[in-house]
Amino acid sequence: MDSVRSHLNEYVTALGRSPVRDLFEISLDPALISFAGGNPAPELFDVDGLAAAFSAVMATEGGRAMQYSSTDGEPEMREAAAKRTTEMGVPTSPDQLIITSGSQQGLGLLSQTLINPGDVVLAENPSFVSALQAFGLQGAEFKPVDTDEAGVIPEALESAIEKWHPKAVYLIPTFQNPTGITMSAERRRQVADILAASDTWLIEDDPYSELRFTEEQQIPISADQRLDDRAFLCNTLSKVLSPGLRVGWVRGPAHVLERMSAAKQANSLQTSTIDQLAAAYYLAHNDLQAKLDGVRAEYRARRDAMLEGLREGLPEGSAMTEPEGGMFVWARLPEGHDASALVYDAIRAGVVFVPGAPFYIAEPDPRTLRFSFVSNDPEHTREGLSRLGSVFDRG
Amino acid sequence: MDSVRSHLNEYVTALGRSPVRDLFEISLDPALISFAGGNPAPELFDVDGLAAAFSAVMATEGGRAMQYSSTDGEPEMREAAAKRTTEMGVPTSPDQLIITSGSQQGLGLLSQTLINPGDVVLAENPSFVSALQAFGLQGAEFKPVDTDEAGVIPEALESAIEKWHPKAVYLIPTFQNPTGITMSAERRRQVADILAASDTWLIEDDPYSELRFTEEQQIPISADQRLDDRAFLCNTLSKVLSPGLRVGWVRGPAHVLERMSAAKQANSLQTSTIDQLAAAYYLAHNDLQAKLDGVRAEYRARRDAMLEGLREGLPEGSAMTEPEGGMFVWARLPEGHDASALVYDAIRAGVVFVPGAPFYIAEPDPRTLRFSFVSNDPEHTREGLSRLGSVFDRG
Q: Domain B48-285, what architecture?
A: 3-Layer(aba) Sandwich (3.40)
- Cβ–Cβ below 8 Å for A42 and B64: yes
- Cβ–Cβ below 8 Å for A67 and B39: yes
Best B112, B249, B274 member to test A by mutation, with max A CBs in 10 Å, is: B274
- Cβ–Cβ below 8 Å for B58 and A51: yes
CATH, domain range A69-285: 3.40.640.10
- ipTM, two decimals, is 0.94
Q: What is the 3-state secondary structure (H, E, C) of chain A?
A: CHHHHHHHHHHHHHHCCCHHHHHHHHCCCCCCEECCCCCCCHHHCCHHHHHHHHHHHHHHHHHHHHCCCCCCCCHHHHHHHHHHHHHCCCCCCHHHEEEECCHHHHHHHHHHHHCCCCCEEEEECCCCHHHHHHHHHCCCEEEEECEECCEECHHHHHHHHHHHCCCEEEECCCCCCCCCCCCCHHHHHHHHHHHHCCCCEEEEECCCCCCECCCCCCCCHHHCHHHCCCEEEEEECCCCCCHHHCCEEEECCHHHHHHHHHHHHHHHCCCCHHHHHHHHHHHHHCCHHHHHHHHHHHHHHHHHHHHHHHHHHCCCCCEECCCCECCEEEEECCCCCCHHHHHHHHHHCCEECEECHHHCCCCCCCCEEEEECCCCCHHHHHHHHHHHHCCCCCC
- Cβ–Cβ below 8 Å for A133 and B265: yes
B33-34 and B147-148 strand pairing: unpaired
- Cβ–Cβ below 8 Å for A42 and B67: yes
Best B70, B132, B246 member to test A by mutation, with max A CBs in 10 Å, is: B246
- Cβ–Cβ below 8 Å for B108 and A243: no
CA of B50 vs chain A CAs: smallest distance (Å): 8
| pLDDT exceeds 90 at position A394 | no
- CATH 3.40.640.10 domain span(s) along chain B: 48-285
Residue A390 has a pLDDT of 85
Instruction: Give me the torsion for CA of B262, B265, B267, B270, rounded to 10°.
Output: 140
Residue A2 has a pLDDT of 41
Nearest CA in chain A to B129: A266
- Cβ–Cβ below 8 Å for A58 and B47: yes
CA of A282 vs chain B CAs: smallest distance (Å): 13
A319-320 and A328-332 strand pairing: antiparallel
Q: What is the pLDDT of residues A224-243, one digit of tens each?
A: 999 999 999 999 999 999 99
| Distance separating alpha carbons of residues A252 and A96, to the nearest angstrom | 6
Confidence band of A1 (pLDDT split at 50, 70, 90): very low
Residue A20 has a pLDDT of 52
Residue B20 has a pLDDT of 53
- CATH 3.90.1150.10 domain span(s) along chain B: 2-45+290-389
Spell out where chain B has E strands. Answer: 33-34, 97-100, 120-124, 141-145, 147-148, 151-152, 168-171, 201-205, 231-236, 248-251, 319-320, 328-332, 351-352, 354-355, 368-372
- Cβ–Cβ below 8 Å for A104 and B267: yes
CB-based contact A268:B105 (threshold 8 Å): yes
- Cβ–Cβ below 8 Å for A108 and B266: yes
- Cβ–Cβ below 8 Å for B242 and A66: yes
- Cβ–Cβ below 8 Å for A245 and B105: no
Best A55, A177, A246, A271 member to test B by mutation, with max B CBs in 10 Å, is: A246
Q: What is the pLDDT of residues A283-333, one digit of tens each?
A: 999 999 999 999 999 999 999 999 999 999 999 999 999 999 999 999 999
| pLDDT exceeds 50 at position A91 | yes
- Cβ–Cβ below 8 Å for A272 and B275: yes
| pLDDT exceeds 90 at position A8 | no
Pick B58's closest partner by Cβ from A54, A65, A243: A54
Give the residue ranges of chain B where pLDDT is below 70.
1-25, 393-395
Residue B127 has a pLDDT of 96
Q: Domain B2-45+290-389, what architecture?
A: Alpha-Beta Complex (3.90)
Counting one residue from A and one from B, how many pairs have CB atoms under 8 Å apart? 185
CA of A311 vs chain B CAs: smallest distance (Å): 30
Interaxial angle between packed helices A75-87 and A273-285, expressed in degrees from 0 to 180 and rounded to the nearest 10: 50
CB-based contact A374:A296 (threshold 8 Å): no
Nearest CA in chain A to B241: A66
Q: What is the pLDDT of residues A104-152, one digit of tens each?
A: 999 999 999 999 999 999 999 999 999 999 999 999 999 999 999 999 9
CA of A207 vs chain B CAs: smallest distance (Å): 14
- Cβ–Cβ below 8 Å for A243 and B67: yes
CA of A260 vs chain B CAs: smallest distance (Å): 12
Residue A15 has a pLDDT of 44
Residue B15 has a pLDDT of 45
CB-based contact B122:B143 (threshold 8 Å): yes
> Which chain A residues contact residue B61 at CB under 8 A?
none
| Distance separating alpha carbons of residues B245 and B54, to the nearest angstrom | 11
Classify residue B269 by its DSSP letter: S
> Which chain A residues contact residue B275 at CB under 8 A?
272, 274-275
- Cβ–Cβ below 8 Å for A59 and B51: yes
Pick A66's closest partner by Cβ from B50, B268, B272: B50
- Cβ–Cβ below 8 Å for A272 and B64: no
> Which chain B residues contact residue A58 at CB under 8 A?
47, 50-51, 54
> Which chain B residues contact residue A241 at CB under 8 A?
66
Q: What is the pLDDT of residues A163-211, one digit of tens each?
A: 999 999 999 999 999 999 999 999 999 999 999 999 999 999 999 999 9
> Which chain A residues contact residue B269 at CB under 8 A?
102, 104-105, 130, 246
* CA Rg value for chain B: 21
Classify residue B364 by its DSSP letter: -
> Which chain A residues contact residue B63 at CB under 8 A?
42-43, 45, 47
CA of A148 vs chain B CAs: smallest distance (Å): 28
The mean pLDDT of chain A is 93
Best A274, A275, A277, A281 member to test B by mutation, with max B CBs in 10 Å, is: A274
CA of B107 vs chain A CAs: smallest distance (Å): 8
A379 exposure class (CB count in 10 Å sphere: 0-12, 13-18, 19+): exposed
> Which chain B residues contact residue A102 at CB under 8 A?
268-270
| Distance separating alpha carbons of residues B205 and B330, to the nearest angstrom | 19
> Which chain A residues contact residue B108 at CB under 8 A?
266-268
- Cβ–Cβ below 8 Å for B274 and A244: yes
- Cβ–Cβ below 8 Å for A51 and B69: no
Q: What is the pLDDT of residues A42-65, one digit of tens each?
A: 999 999 999 999 999 999 999 999
> Which chain B residues contact residue A54 at CB under 8 A?
51, 54-55, 58, 274
- Cβ–Cβ below 8 Å for A268 and B245: no
Pick A51's closest partner by Cβ from B55, B268, B275: B55
Nearest CA in chain B to A263: B137
Confidence band of A216 (pLDDT split at 50, 70, 90): confident
| Distance separating alpha carbons of residues B349 and B343, to the nearest angstrom | 10
> Which chain B residues contact residue A69 at CB under 8 A?
244
